[in-house]
Amino acid sequence: MASRQQAAGTPAAPPAAPLWAVQSLVFLASLGTGSVTNGIFFIAKQACGFSAKENFGLGALLGITYIIGAIGVGPALRRVAARHRAVSSRSVLVLLSVVMAGAAVLPRIAIRGEGEAATGAWSIWVAIGLFSPCSGAFWPIVESFLGGGRSGHTLRRALGQFNIIWAASVIAASWAMGPLLERHALEVLVGFGVVQLASTLLVWPLGPEPGVHLAEHHEPHPLVYGALLTTFRMLLPTSYYILSVWSPYAPSVMDRLEVGVAWQVPIAATWMLSRFVAFATMERWHGWHGRWWLVVVGVVGMVGGIVTALSAPFLGGGLGTPVLVAGLAVLGLGNGVIYSASLYYAMEVGKGEVEAGGTHEALIGVGFAGGPLTGWAAVALVGPGERGNVAILVALGAVLVVVGLAVGWRVWRAARAVRAAREVTGGG
């Protein structure tokens, strides 16, 4: 097939990008995008005195603009490529990295001293307004380079490594920024902006465009994968909805438990450690592929974890801090299960295209936006503190009941379909 195309003068389909280059880019870029996404609320509080309500608003901006970037990148790439042959996915990655690096440096330029912190708070909002949509567009392209031209065992291996690498990078960034936040919060942003800019050196080995799945090379996937993809796509935004309720509120929770500033980000990042464990387990063991019980594991983890974590401040510092750590650990396991399964089925069913990654990232953005909006509304209506926590728990409970009913209905329909298929084929 390829030889006939080349003989006829038709360009051969791009091969899969070198895995070492993709994964190296993932590690460096995750230091920047992961730390800004998870650490900006601590930075804003420490550098500019953001309240819980302001942090929830900042989180909503982050999520909404992330969705715009993730949804828009695929169609935008197609339109631009049709008009300008010189523009490639690789060049767009470089441009996005440059803009993200500039956004990370902006607050340090705008805020030169302690007296300017209040008047320079606008720079935090502008930085996130620039950084987040670029990040939303950046990752679907990276995921298309990762999944394009790969399927079956090769795709499973690449995705498993991808999850482990970016999760380890985010953990490293979170622990590194912890001791620096009290006196050098804005410099933390600058450092990660520089790393983001340096990561462009790893874009060039990828090739101009992601690899393409040729029909004869793409392994067929079981029919159940489509149903599982739909189910995990319901759970994915819910999982990040929960995390995004937690992240803007975390600094206030840490203060109430009297946790020192240097330990706040590392403790708040407990869920990242347990998520890393989930990623590593699912990368090495593939018995979860095509299994519905994994849905239950993900749901129990995310619900039980966040309820435990948000209940911790009611217990006081002595008992509250260990309970908080335990809740975040369970939450991370649930998030890791849901994220891994959702991305795997998206890439396998969607054949590694930018739109498949874009939908995956956009759903994450829905969660990023929905959680802070819930927190903002709760704090605005009843105020911060214990009453705000209760209001957030009530809102979370309502969302989880609705999602739980929808997922339960999906699982029930799938079970009926399996039984009907067995009856038709005479299977046991």
pLDDT digits (tens, 9 = 90+) for 348-361: 776 545 666 678 78
Is the pLDDT at 96 greater than 80? The verdict is yes
State the Cα–Cα distance between residues 60 and 375, nearest whole angstrom: 10
User: What is the mean predicted confidence (pLDDT) over 242-248?
Assistant: 78
Is the pLDDT at 398 greater than 80? The verdict is yes
Evaluate whether 358 touches 170 at the Cβ level (below 8 Å). no
Per-residue confidence band for 211, with pLDDT thresholds at 50, 70 and 90: confident
Per-residue model confidence (pLDDT) at position 370: 86
For 155-190, the pLDDT digits (tens) are 888 888 998 998 899 888 877 877 777 778 888 888
Per-residue model confidence (pLDDT) at position 422: 60
Task: Name the nearest CA neighbour of 245 among 369, 371, 353, 95.
Answer: 371
What average pLDDT does the structure give for the chain? 81
Q: What is the 3-state secondary structure (H, E, C) of the chain?
A: CHHHHHHCCCCCCCCCCCHHHHHHHHHHHHHHHHHHHHHHHHHHHHHHCCCHHHHHHHHHHHHHHHHHHHHHHHHHHHHHHHHCCCCCHHHHHHHHHHHHHHHHHHHHHHCCCHHHCCCCCHHHHHHHHHHHHHHHHHHHHHHHHHHCCCCHHHHHHHHHHHHHHHHHHHHHHHHHHHHHHHHHHHHHHHHHHHHHHHHHHHCHHHCCCCCCCCCCCCCCCCCHHHHHHHHHHHHHHHHHHHHHHHHHHHHHHHHHCCCCHHHHHHHHCHHHHHHHHHHHHHHHCCCCCCCCHHHHHHHHHHHHHHHHHHHHHHHHHHHHHHHHHHHHHHHHHHHHHHHHHHHHHHHHHHCCCHHHHHHHHHHHHHHHHHHHHHHHHHHHHHCCCHHHHHHHHHHHHHHHHHHHHHHHHHHHHHHHHHHHHHHHHCCC
Per-residue model confidence (pLDDT) at position 306: 86
Is the pLDDT at 307 greater than 80? The verdict is yes
Lowest-pLDDT choice from 213-222, 228-237, 384-393: 213-222
Per-residue model confidence (pLDDT) at position 421: 64
Higher pLDDT, 148 or 221: 148
Residue 133 token pair? 């949509």
Evaluate whether 347 touches 41 at the Cβ level (below 8 Å). no
Per-residue model confidence (pLDDT) at position 357: 67
Residue 176 token pair? 């590194």
Is the pLDDT at 5 greater than 50? The verdict is no
Cα 113 to Cα 116, 334, 427, distances in angstroms: 5, 42, 73
Cα 313 to Cα 304, 307, 326, 389, distances in angstroms: 16, 11, 13, 9
Per-residue confidence band for 326, with pLDDT thresholds at 50, 70 and 90: very high
State the Cα–Cα distance between residues 370 and 59, nearest whole angstrom: 9
For 216-231, the pLDDT digits (tens) are 444 556 777 888 888 8
User: What is the mean predicted confidence (pLDDT) over 213-217?
Assistant: 47
User: What is the mean predicted confidence (pLDDT) over 401-426?
Assistant: 72
The length of the chain in residues reads: 428
User: What is the mean predicted confidence (pLDDT) over 129-137?
Assistant: 92
Evaluate whether 151 touches 213 at the Cβ level (below 8 Å). yes
State the Cα–Cα distance between residues 188 and 215, nearest whole angstrom: 46
Per-residue model confidence (pLDDT) at position 216: 42
Per-residue model confidence (pLDDT) at position 63: 87
